[in-house]
Amino acid sequence: MFRNYETCLADQNPSAAQPSPLDMAALMMTAMLNDSPFPRRLAVDCVFLRRTLDTNTPEDPFLMLCTHIIRDGRDCIGPFLENIETDCQLWEPNERLAARLAAADEASSPTAGTPS
């Protein structure tokens, strides 16, 4: 389970009365990301993403490639950080995300749970 940012700050410096301006900015960004509507356009949920390994680069062997015809197998623009959306204009949801969206739509429909 993930803990919120305020709890982590308190654990790091319990005597601090006020978070620093940098910590406040991080808190505001976390709140904005947590309040965003589902789903987010995360690069990892793109149908064109292909993850693979490259043994020729031992310091970072993980490759994130875009298989869209326009990008032609070049590196995906990402980013691959937690909760940061991609601004890629080629992004489309993969099957796993599409299934989650369909389930969420079905659950939130006004006729959900009523017999037909």
pLDDT score recorded for residue 75: 94
pLDDT score of 8 more than 50: no
Q: How confident is the model at residue 3 (pLDDT cuts 50, 70, 90)?
A: very low
Dihedral (C-alpha) 23, 28, 30, 32: value to the nearest 10 degrees?
Answer: -170
In 3D space, the residue among 43, 46, 114 whose CA is nearest the CA of residue 80 turns out to be: 43
Kindly provide the residue ranges of all beta strands, DSSP E only, lying in 1-116, ordered along the sequence.
49-53, 62-66
The C-alpha atoms of residue 74 and residue 11 are separated, in whole angstroms, by 42
Give the phi and the psi of residue 57 in degrees, each rounded to 5.
Answer: -125, 85
pLDDT score recorded for residue 60: 87
Domain positions in the chain are: 30-106
Q: Tell me: the pLDDT tens digits for 49-93?
A: 999 999 898 898 999 999 999 998 999 999 988 789 999 999 999
Per the listing, tokens 């808190």 go with 27
Question: What's the average model confidence in pLDDT over 36-59?
Answer: 85
Q: Is the model's pTM score more than 0.75? A: no
